Structure 1
Amino acid sequence: MEQMRDQPRERANRTSVPREAAVGLVRVVIVGAWGMLALLVVLFWISDWCESVREFAAVRVGSRPADAALPVAEARESLIGTLIVVVVQAVVIAGIVVAVPRLRASHVLHRLAVPSESLTRRRVYSAAMFAAAGLIGAQVFAEPGAPVRPGGIGTEAAARHLAEIRALLAGCLEEPFFSMLPVLGLALLPIRWTRGLRGRGALIVAVVVSACGRAALHLYQGGWPAAAALLWGAAAVYAYYRYRSIMGLIGAHTLWNLVAVTQYGGSHIAQVVAIGFAVLIAGFGVEVTWPRMRTAPADAQPPVGL
Structure 2
Amino acid sequence: MTTDTPARLLQLLSLLQTPREWPGGELASRLGVSRRTVRRDVDRLRELGYPVRATMGADGGYRLVAGKAMPPLLLDDEEAVAIAVGLRAGAGHAVEGVDEASVRALAKLEQVLPARLRRRVVTLQAATTSLTSGDGARIAPETLTVIASAIAGGERLRFAYSARDGVGSRRVVEPYRLVSAGQRWYLVAYDLDRGDWRTFRVDRVSEPFATGARFGARELPEGDAAEFVRKALQGRRAAYEFSVVFAGEVEEVAARVPGWMGRVEGVEGGGCRVRGVGGGPVEWLAVQLAVVGVDFVVEGPEELVRCVRELGERLGRAGGGGG
Q: TM-score, normalised by structure 2?
A: 0.21
Higher RCO (C-alpha 8 Å, min separation 6)? 1
**Structure having the larger proportion of residues in helix:** 1
Q: TM-score, normalised by structure 1?
A: 0.22
